[in-house]
Structure 1
């Protein structure tokens, strides 16, 4: 099926005249700004936060361009990846008419954003080993399917999706294929960013919340063709990334060595935690992980979860999620946190009666 962005896009978005902010209309250097109705006297803070931030975050994008190897015009920055997800659904899916395809178990915000926008959801569960059901996907797609979301490494399962299967979907689907790579820094699988020039229907989501340790700033990234990025910029709020987040993100992006060190430590801690958890009698299975968390199948997830909560340790109970029955999702902590987790789990009052 041939990809045609204009046919895929909602007509009202295609014809939309976006809001033009003061900082959109003027770009360059100036000493006196009397265009945006700001408080010209300043702010109570030391930094000049009385001024509106760069609406397209060009300085941050240039630094990301150097790191990711993709031009700034192929980058969108959002208030977390959640903003990018919402914009994709709002821009391309007609409420009450179009649908998106989800592959559960997967990240929950795809479904939430679709429901908020009154967009129908089709689901094709992953296989027993958490890979794509290509036949099921092909059968589920119809003329109103606009987006397919593929999370790889997947949340909550932790595994990477087979690359060749993703390429099969990209090559045969006429809508947008959105690959959510929030955990790609921990993965042995390389990013799909290098494939942007090969697939015009490819959108890649990444974030500064995970490996970069900036969850509190809410800075997400989308990489796509310049044509698709223009749609993002057309629909987004005028100043969606605040000045403080831009400044702090730029500062963090100068410290790749520190981040790479944390990634190495996290992967090492992940493997050690997997080895020790595997010795516990109530742990039935630990699924392979390319992320900074592991999915652990137990004899009684709810009881173990409650036991940990009572001792001030919070993990995620995923036992009600399809294909994750009896499972806990455990984020990889510091060595001290992981040690405390193990020591506490060893005190869990397990007996064969728990089975």
Structure 2
């Protein structure tokens, strides 16, 4: 199906003249900056942060480009993936008119952002196997459907969505298909960023919060066509990624080997935790995981959850989420944390 970005964009965004920051208005090198009303004396810190950061984060994007194999013009950096999600709603969805399709159970911020922007959500439940109900999605699409959100590996279920189903959506939908790959580093499936040149309506979200261990600096990534990334850059605040976060990201991105070691260890720990959990008689089922967490169905999920809290272990109660009834979501921790988890659950069994 033909994709036309101009028809998809809100008219006010199509005609938007973005804010031009002080750093956008000159080219080349400079040694004296008297343009942005900064404090030229420095900062009351060991490191100076008195200058505004690079509004386009070129150094960080250059490193990401080498790691991800994606050209810099196809990369957007946001204040967490949440900023990219919010921009998608603001740029493409007319409040009170347009709608998006969500596939629950899924990441909750899609719906929150839709509600903030007064955009209708059409919810098509995943199948009992946590895969896309393709017929349901096809029936839900109408002339005002702008975006389909697919989380894969999915949160909170931890499984990957069938790749062929996602490709079918992208190829047959005239709006945007957003594939959220926050947990892709732990998955056996390959990333969809390799498909960007093939699909003009594909947006892939990733993050530095999970495998890269940088949740505290809030940096999310969106990968898409150059024309879609240009839209993101028009809509975002001029300095959306602060200088401290950019510097820390640059430092972290130089340590790929460390991150890869952690990924291997977490996957190993995940399998060990699963093998211990299934020995417990109150554990009914564990969804096959492609993430750094597992969804565990239990006989008494609320009782288990409260017992863990009372013993200083915090998990996520998902037992009231449709299709996740009776389930707790458990992040894979360090070996020591995982042993403590299993021992505490064994103690619960005897309590």
Specify the TM-score bucket, using the shorter chain as the normaliser. Answer: over 0.9
Q: Does 1:207 align with 2:207?
A: yes
Match of 2:33 in 1: 33
Aligned counterpart, 1:236: 236
Equivalent positions of 1:38-53 (< 5 A) are 38-53=38-53
2:194 pairs with 1:194: yes
**SS of the counterpart of 1:281?**
coil
Say yes or no: does 1:256 pair with 2:252. Answer: no
Q: For 1:41, what is the secondary structure of its paired residue?
A: coil
Counterpart in the other structure of 1:119: 119
Residue 28 of structure 1: how far off its partner (Å): 2.5
- 3-state SS of the aligned residue for 1:221? strand
* TM-score (norm. length: structure 1): 0.98
CA contact (8 A) 1:79 1:241 kept: yes
| Secondary structure of residue in 1 paired with 2:348 | coil
Structure 2 SS opposite 1:328: strand
In structure 1, what is the equivalent of residue 287 of structure 2?
Answer: 287
Q: How far apart, in 1, do the equivalents of 2:150 and 2:228 lie?
A: 18
Gaps of 5+ in 1: none
**In the alignment, does 2:255 pair up with 1:227?**
no
Contact 1:205/1:220, CA 8 A, preserved across alignment = yes
Offset at residue 349 of structure 1 (A): 4.2
1:328 is matched with 328
Answer whether contact 1:285 1:296 (CA < 8 A) is retained. Answer: yes
Which secondary structure state, in structure 2, belongs to the residue aligned with residue 289 of structure 1? coil
What aligned pairs does 1:311-326 form with structure 2 within 5 A after superposition?
Answer: 311-326=311-326
- Cα distance in structure 1, aligned partners of 2:27 and 2:288: 49
Cα root mean square deviation, aligned: 0.8
DSSP 3-state at the match of 1:90: helix
Does residue 306 of structure 1 match 2:306?
yes
- State the Cα distance separating 1:319 from its structure 2 match: 0.5
TM-score (norm 2): 0.99
1:282–1:350: 8 Å Cα contact kept in structure 2?
Answer: no
Residue by residue over 1:57-78, the C-alpha shift from the partner in whole angstroms, topping out at 9 and shown as x without a partner, is 0000000000000100000000
Equivalent residue of 1:263, what SS?
helix
Q: Which ranges of 4 or more aligned residues in structure 1 deviate by more than 2 Å? A: none
- How many residues are treated as equivalent by the alignment? 351
In 1, the alpha carbon distance for the partners of 2:92 and 2:27 equals: 30
| Partner Cα distance (2:54, 2:46) in 1 | 19
